[in-house]
Structures are given as C-alpha cells and as structure tokens.
Amino acid sequence: MAKVKDVLKEFFSADQGEDDFVLPLDESGKLIRPMGTVKAVQHSFRTRSRGKDEKNNPKAAEIPDMLPLDDESRALLELANAVRDKAYAKYSGFRVGAALVAESGQVYLGVNIENASYPAGICAERSAICAAISAGERSFSAIAIVGGEKGEPCYPCGICRQVLAEFCGPDFPVILADGVYSLGGLLPHSFEL
C-alpha cells in the first residue's frame, strides 16, 4: 500500500517524477481541482510518548510532546495548505485548512467557514471531522492543520481540541508547521462524561 506522499503524487499526476512533484495549483496558488476524499493510504504517524517519570511530573503536562516533521507529515501539511484556499474567511481573512487521516486510510479535508453570526462558524478541524463522521468513520490516525502566516504553526482552538479528544486518544498526532504534537500534550485535561 502506498504512503501519503506517494498517493498525493499519483492522485494528481503520474507524469511527474519523484523530485518534480508539486500540488496542481493555478497562477494564484489555488488548488486546481476540488478534492474530497483521497484514496486509502498507509501511514506511520506517531507522537512522543511520555516516560514513566514524566507521567508523574505535573510540570511535564505543561510541555507539549513534539516530534520533528517527517515526509508523511509534510505531505499531509501540503494537502492541508492546498485546501485552505477554499476557506470562507470573509470576516477575519484568517484561512485554515485541515487534513484528517482516518484509520481506514481515507483522508478527509476541512476548511474554516465563517458567518456574520460568529458562533455559527466552524473551524477547519471540526469541518474535517464532520466530513469523516458523515462518511461513517470513527477512528483517526492524524490531523494536519495549516493557517496564518507561512511557516508558523496554527494551533487548534480549545473547542477543536475537545472535539478531537472525543474520538482520539492522548497520543493522537496533531501535525503543525513546526512539528508533530500529541493531542494529550495540547489538551492535558480534556472533559469527559
């Protein structure tokens, strides 16, 4: 089974070589063809697990677990970055894109959608989760989030962290521009019923 970065290459063009791959963007940098679900892919996303000593140290919870980006994470970030141009950010101008990988291997995309009644808007992360849940998915492997200035991490808001915690464990990888964080590191005390 192919990996995320390989599937992205195959999905857009079989003509491009390994080093020539770029997402199909128009002159303004927008994704040329709309994307929904990408075919199933093999992946190896992971986060740093806390050691025994760190679990008992209350200060350790203040430091998000982070690993450096690998090829798979970068490929998923590229996809999140490409889809963020489809965001509806009429009021803030702050566009966010998310790419959520289900355990099935399917990739679900989401963008932020604003509304004049601000609470009616939805974040990119929750948009991707809604698409996945609507398709019958319930288990997820990783999410990549891109927003703001190029190269700066766009951390998920508190509501999105809590929604992710509804379906994902504390070791769930949250891929940002500067590294791969664990959900538990970003939300150490999630609400549970």
pLDDT (tens digit, 9 = 90+) per residue, 33-82? 444 444 444 556 666 554 444 555 454 445 456 788 888 889 999 999 99
Residue 133's CB is within 10 A of a number of other CB atoms, namely 16
Would the pLDDT of 145 be above 60?
yes
Domain boundaries, the chain: 4-186
Which helix (H) or strand (E) is 81 found in, with range?
helix 71-83
What are 68's two structure tokens?
């450096």
Find out if CATH 1.10.150.530 is the number for domain 4-186.
Answer: no
Question: Pick the catalytic residue: 72, 78, 125, 137?
Answer: 125
Our answer to whether residue 125 is catalytic in this structure is yes
pTM as predicted: 0.73
What are 175's two structure tokens?
């891929």
The pLDDT assigned to 149 comes to 79
User: Where does the pLDDT of residue 111 fall: very low under 50, low under 70, confident under 90, or very high at 90 and above?
Assistant: very high
At residue 138, what is the residue type?
A: R
Percent of the chain with pLDDT over 70: 66
